[in-house]
A and B are shown apart, each in its own frame.
Chain A
Amino acid sequence: MLTSILLFLPILGGLLLLLAKGSQAKWISFALSLVCGGISIAMCAGFDPQLGMQFVAELPWLPNLGISYHVGVDGISLVLVLLTNLLCPVIFWSTFKQNPEHPGLHYGMLLIMQGAMTGVFVSLDIFLYYIFWELALIPAYFLVLLYGAFERNRIAMKFFLYTLVGSLLMLVAIIYLSQQNSPASFDIYDIYGVRLTPNAQLLVLLAFMSAYAIKIPIFPFHTWQPDTYTSASSGTTMMLSGIMLKMGLYSIIRWVLPIVPGAVAANQNWMIWIIVIGVAYASLIAVQQKDLKRLFAYASIAHVGLIAAGILTMTESGLQGSLLQMLSHGINAVGLFYVCAILSDRKGTNDIAALGGIRRLAPWFATAYFVVLLGTVALPLTNGFVGEFLLLSALFQKSWVWSLVAGSGVILGAVYMLKSYQGVMLGKENNGTFADLDNQEKGVFLPIVIAIVVFGLLPSLITHLSGPAIEQLLQQINQAIQAN
């Protein structure tokens, strides 16, 4: 029941807001997202990590096609549900100052996106999953198109088409999988039961991964991302980087590893190689970016690449680290893009060279930015550290070269984050004034800063939720590989 409320409250609310006019939209959306945040916390409180799938709802939908409404959460999806529903209020709140045109449209889209993304994380029917997957794309497309800063037609179209192409390949694989049961079934447990030949496994793997590699994005399928993140409004970028890309990462855990474990095991070598090279590649590019938002966009490619690589190792620390890092990356991405939003709000630019000397003028802002920076460079005792440590150590278990190549991101991460901080915040002031954070802005940074510290000190808040589910998943994977 709670799961369904979490799904339909924002989607229905969002649809109504689309029709509504007036300035109350932002408050309504914020209130609804807060309610969802509360529900997700209640779910955590009522969740027993040992009991597997919980808060399940199952209703027949299109029975003759084998499609049903089947949702629920386990320790893995719960983390993502929590991420989505706790970040959304912060993201919505952060956009209040910008007073976007057509607030009903803007906040309605955001709400629909929130519900659709939650749907991706809780769907236990792969057809339902696919619907939510595409549903999330539609508001994202319109948000990029309508509220982007530059070249928005071209950028929105590229973003839409590129991700759609990947998704269609996935759809083919989904239909193929469902037909392996007789009668056909899209239910997760039936899909998990499908036994495929190695060749079929490989094709399914490639079809799924093409959708996910584009969505996340993983090098070399990332070229839509920097433009999109840079052009889109800060709220949209936060939704995309903070939450939406986790759909891809989560889906690898939920749909790829259990369905085609043999193919992953057989192909993980080259896949991880490409990804870790991509981590170094994106970090290297980030170093020379002149626009702060674009720099963070490339940094994001590096960070999520590491998560993807960790997942593909199919090890306990890789999966555990990936969940921690998905959460941390979401929190930190919202913080970083909020920094960009404040800079463009005050100075009208994110050009690093045009900024400088702000730290002295705005100490609270400087502190908040710096704490987010520390989380991003994975300083121990901040949220970024334990996840990154587990991910790199998972890579190390398989090959020390991987952790060395990906670890170069550790060094380059310090370089580009400190270099940009220095350019924006330190040194001589570049003309004029800079108002420090007001209360509304502090209200955005405060939960982020708290989360950075809390999850840095107590990663067990997350790992105790996800631990048993991960163990079970690994067992399932190992059995499947041995059965082959």
Chain B
Amino acid sequence: MENLIWLIPVLPLVGFLVLGLGARTLPKSIASVLGCTTIFTGFILTLLLGSGVMSHGSVEQSIGTWVATASWSVNFGFLVDPLSWMMMLVITGVGALIHVYSAGYMHDDERHNYFFAYLNLFVFFMLLLVMGNNYLLLFSGWEGVGLCSYLLIGFWFNVDEYNEAAKKAFVMNRIGDLGFLLGLFLLLNTFGALDYKGIFGGDLLSHAPQGVITAITLLFIVGAAGKSAQIPLYTWLPDAMAGPTPVSALIHAATMVTAGIYLVLRSIHLFELAPFSLEVLTYLGLATSIFAATIGLKQNDIKKVLAYSTVSQLGLMFFALGLGAYTAAFFHLVTHAFFKALLFLSAGSVIHGLGGEQDIRKMGNLRKVLPVTFIVFAIGTLAIAGIPPFSGFFSKDQILLAAYGHSPLLFALGLFASLLTVYYMFRMFFLVFYGNSRTDHHTLDHAHESPLSMTAPLGILAALSLGGGLLNVPAIFGGGDWLQHFLEPVIGKVEEAHISASMEWTLMAIVVGLVLVVIFWAYRNYAVQKQVPGAEADEVGMGRILNHKYYVDEIYTAVFVKPAQQLSEFVGDVLDADFLDGLVNGVGRFTTGVGKVIRKIQEGTVGFYLFIFAFGILLLLVLELFF
């Protein structure tokens, strides 16, 4: 089995090539079956690797050299250790479900086959990202998923707005990537290697100066902030919702955007040596989490709400990483992949059922019309809210507990972010499924529950959102912290803050109690009183600011984009065309001018020559006589 590791990423690559080249000839049914099969096979193979990972700690395979210089080299080498194995399970598992769902969701799209080709390509790069045994392959996957994200956000490329969103995502990611790249250069300069073994294997780390390690990790954080949509580079993610909904679920919720968390975990031994960077992660994550959650309060597009919730949840994961709660962060990554994929796909089911409607103000009372969607959406919402025994409860609880271990204030702020999430999620939930129906008759007449290919994946994801917490049931519930022990070979044993069992119970009670209060409040507002958010233009004060997302896009445009354009025009038109080229042409004209004057000397005018001749002789005579 260890010899077949390479198949796991290569299968979707082959899938991409076949689907891409055969896009116009393959029937849709074959294309979707093929697209799903490559991913599902990868999932099975990953499962089969499990025993090897558990017994040996990790399995590796190298299929050749990629870059070799005199001083360093990297291979096409794959490393499957507990961290990458779990990531692979999420990528291929959730990925396969989303592929199946897409078969239904994209069925009527004329570019259905291209869609599957791109999705397969995405899975290939995502697997490369987590499976590579060196930073260069990680970076390759990192850039590759960015490319697929670009292709899929702008999938409907005849709409200019979508193209803009796609470009924005790629460019903002590239800004982060430059930071990441500089971090890699510094890493290479410091350790003379880019493969994990070369860097972490020996005792190089203990000799490296701390300032350098801090610089490397800070540069990595820049990259992570781009890919995982953290302040200040998060603004692309809400716009990325332009892509088809399965894309939002797979790329912009479950997998790609978690690459930043993976990067930190993969480099955890560096971060452990850089307390300052960890602190940056803590506050950056916390700030993003609260900031995005407040914006979520006032969004009316079903996917935008989920997008801001993703930004906020990713912030929470970085918060946990900064606090040293590595398992909790990763645990939340996994459960979030389950419930956020579920939420996106069920939102897709709503959109699909309503013929493309995304505005929650135009929905309402849909639970009868879309009964299956209603149930799974409810499960997803309960999971993200952190109601026991749903998976989100366990992972979020561990993050908040770790925060309390640092300071009650951090606990309170983390809790605040969570409660905001609970409120806007239930606001959306009640607006969509309760209250009065605000859908026009025509749409409602055509409204329908989604086909089995869509509802079946929803069911499985709902089960995972419900039971995913079992991965890491804490001791207080009689669990064995399985995930924590499983990850120990990668992230090491982490000193946990000592919190007494009674304190733990108390905190849990506070959290769950407050969550219930907030849910009730949302219920009262949107289900009982049946409030409906008004038009954007009617918003005033803070509501208006939140509705406009703190005007961050407008500020970026004014501060960065416009000046850069003006600079570009100035450099191009004035500096280059007028000044530099003018200078060159000036030299040319000057030479021509001088040439015109000098040419007189050799124009063949005999009189002029004679004149010069005579003048010269005279001059010589005069000189001879008088000096």
Query: Contact residues of A with B, CB < 8 Å?
Result: 158, 161-162, 220, 223-224, 281, 284-285, 287-289, 316-317, 320, 357, 359-360, 363, 367, 374, 379-381, 385-386, 389-390, 392-393, 396-397, 400, 403-404, 407-408, 410-411, 414-415, 418-419, 422, 425-428, 457, 459-460, 463-464, 467, 471
Contact = CB atoms under 8 A, between A and B. Distances in A.
A223 B584 CA distance: 8
A403 B182 contact: yes
Contact of A404 (B150, B182, B565, B576): B182
A381 B185 contact: no
Contacts of B68: 460, 463-464, 467
B280 interface: no
Interface stretch (B153-161, B257-265, B475-483): B153-161
A392 B185 contact: yes
Contact of B175 (A400, A411, A418): A411
Contacts of B136: 380, 389
Given A281-B571, A403-B185, A426 B67 contact: no
Interface string B399-419: 000000000000000000000
A396 B571 contact: no
Contacts of B42: none
Nearest to B71: A316
Interface in B134-155: 136, 139-140, 143-144, 147, 150, 154
Interface stretch (B163-171, B534-542, B549-557): B163-171
B160 A427 contact: yes
The 8 A-B residue pairs whose C-beta atoms are closest, nearest first, are A380-B140, A396-B185, A223-B581, A285-B572, A426-B157, A288-B568, A414-B174, A393-B185
A400 B66 contact: no
A483 B123 CA distance: 55
B69 A463 contact: yes
Contact of B140 (A381, A390, A459): A381
B186 interface: yes
A432 B226 CA distance: 39
B181 A428 contact: no
A422 B159 CA distance: 11
Contacts of A415: 167, 171
A389 to B, nearest CB: 8
B158 A427 contact: yes
Given A392-B181, A403-B182, A426-B163, A467 B70 contact: yes
Nearest to A317: B69
Could you say which interface size class chain B belongs to? 35 or more
The A contact surface, by secondary structure, is helix
Given A380-B144, A457-B66, 6 more contacts: A359-B157, A374-B147, A380-B136, A381-B144, A427-B163, A460-B65
29 contacts: A284-B564, A284-B568, A285-B576, A287-B565, A288-B572, A316-B69, A316-B71, A359-B157, A379-B144, A380-B136, A380-B140, A380-B144, A381-B140, A389-B136, A393-B188, A396-B185, A396-B189, A411-B171, A411-B174, A415-B171, A422-B167, A426-B158, A427-B158, A427-B159, A459-B67, A460-B66, A463-B68, A464-B68, A467-B70
B181 A410 contact: yes
B178 interface: yes
A460 B181 contact: no
A471 B68 CA distance: 13
Nearest to B74: A386
A410 B173 CA distance: 11
A445 to B, nearest CB: 14
A400 B565 contact: no
Contacts of A459: 66-67
B397 interface: no
B569 interface: yes
A407 B140 contact: no
Interface of B: 20, 23-24, 65-71, 136, 139-140, 143-144, 147, 150, 154, 157-160, 163, 167, 170-171, 174-175, 177-178, 181-182, 184-186, 188-189, 564-565, 567-569, 571-572, 575-576, 580-581, 584-585, 588
A360 to B, nearest CB: 7
Given A360-B158, A459-B66, A284 B571 contact: yes
B565 A316 contact: no
Contact of B182 (A220, A357, A359, A407): A407
A373 B8 CA distance: 28
A396 B186 contact: yes
A284 B74 CA distance: 33
B154 A471 contact: no
Given A281-B571, A381-B144, A426-B163, A400 B67 contact: no
A428 B161 CA distance: 11
A285 B580 contact: no
A288 B139 contact: no
Contacts of A422: 163, 167
Contacts of B67: 386, 389, 459-460, 463
Contacts of A414: 170-171, 174
Contacts of A161: 588
A158 B68 CA distance: 43
A274 to B, nearest CB: 13
A447 B498 CA distance: 64
Contacts of B580: 220, 223
Contacts of A379: 143-144, 147
Contacts of B564: 284, 287
Contacts of B588: 158, 161
Contacts of A392: 181, 185
Contacts of A316: 69-71
A158 B585 CA distance: 9
B70 A285 contact: no
Contact of B174 (A359, A410, A425, A426): A410
A464 B67 CA distance: 10
Nearest to A224: B584
B71 A411 contact: no
B154 to A, nearest CB: 7
A288 B564 CA distance: 10
Contacts of B147: 374, 379
A404 B225 CA distance: 18
A407 B69 contact: no
Contacts of A357: 158
B313 to A, nearest CB: 27
Nearest to A395: B185
A426 B69 contact: no
A471 B20 CA distance: 42
A113 to B, nearest CB: 24
Given A284-B568, A426-B154, A320 B69 contact: yes
Contacts of A460: 65-68
A284 B567 contact: yes
Nearest to B569: A288
A415 B71 CA distance: 33
A148 to B, nearest CB: 18
A281 B579 CA distance: 14
B194 to A, nearest CB: 10
Contacts of A396: 182, 185-186, 189
Nearest to B575: A281
Contacts of A284: 564, 567-568, 571-572
Contacts of A393: 184-185, 188-189
Nearest to A157: B588
Contacts of B144: 379-381
A371 B546 CA distance: 40
Contact of A400 (B69, B139, B185): B185
